[in-house]
Amino acid sequence: MSSAISLDKGNQTLPNITAEERVDWAIESFPGDIVLSTSFGIQSAVLLHMVGTRKPRLPVIFVDTGYLFPETYRFADRLTRELNLDLRVYSPLKTAAHQEALLGKRWEGDISDLEAFNRDNKVEPMNRALQEIGATGWISGLRRSQGQSRSDRPFVELQHKTYKIYPILDWSDRDVYQYLTKHDLPYHPLWEQGYVSVGDWHSTQKLGEGMTEAETRFGGRKRECGLHELTGDQNFQI
């Protein structure tokens, strides 16, 4: 990306173009230095397909905490084969069994325990992936409708000096459905069982009556696991 292009410039441009054009913008802005992340969640096939058709074999980072649903692993295997993904799997430095033996089930503790669990199992592996791959650009599938913490996100933002681009940020559930249907792509298998967001099995629940999507994660105590919580200088220019 040219030093003359700022976050403001990107956020003036991206709201006025299509999701596909936003992907093109990201690829052109960070040639050779951009990745896509996926959780193989409910809607993940959208961006995996959209990015893959425009930039085949772009590195796809998948953080495997060791606590994912069996359906998630099978879904990941299916999409990796069908979409010919260049999947880069990153795991925590200590296994789930090792962590539980030393620290217990931290997701059952207070908010500081939960945040420490997320740092070790999600944030650290992602940061390690970005560093090892050498990514300066990161495409992610966040949408504003997924919760209050995402409702005012810009299309481009800076996180630890990595530029994050959200091509489907303004998409509705209907937009997701239409794209999946048009391209004959699947939802995550647990969608049909009432899940609207899928993460670790111990911190995810079905959408119940009167619940918001954000409340289906971490018992409603948190929406973000740390991967999309900003720190650092948001006005840094490259």
**Fold assignment, 7-220:** Rossmann fold (3.40.50)
Residue 27 contacts residue 55 (beta carbons within 8 Å): yes
Mean pLDDT of 180-193: 96
Q: Mean pLDDT for the chain?
A: 88
Backbone angles phi, psi at 142, to 5 degrees: -60, 145
Amino acid at 27: I
**Per-residue pLDDT tens for 18-45?**
999 999 999 999 988 999 999 999 999 9
Q: What is the pLDDT of residue 226?
A: 55
**CA–CA separation, 33 vs 196, rounded Å?**
32
59, amino acid identity: P
Start-end of H helices in 55-123: 70-82, 96-103, 111-118
Q: Is the pLDDT of residue 4 over 50?
A: no
In this prediction, residue 210 carries a pLDDT of 77
Section 217-234 average pLDDT? 55
pTM: 0.87
Tokens of 217: 């994660």
| Amino acid, single-letter form, for residue 127 | N
The pLDDT of residue 228 is 56
25: number of Cβ within 10 Å: 19
Grade residue 206 by pLDDT with cuts at 50, 70 and 90.
Answer: confident
Structure tokens at 152: 């005012």
Please tell me the distance from the alpha carbon of residue 58 to that of residue 85, in angstroms, as a whole number.
8
For 18: left if phi > 0, alpha if psi spans -120 to 50, otherwise beta; the answer is beta
Catalytic residues, by residue number, are: 225
Answer yes or no: are the C-beta atoms of 138 and 35 closer than 8 Å: yes
SS3 (DSSP) at 28:
helix
Per residue in 61-77, pLDDT (tens digit) is 999 999 999 999 999 99
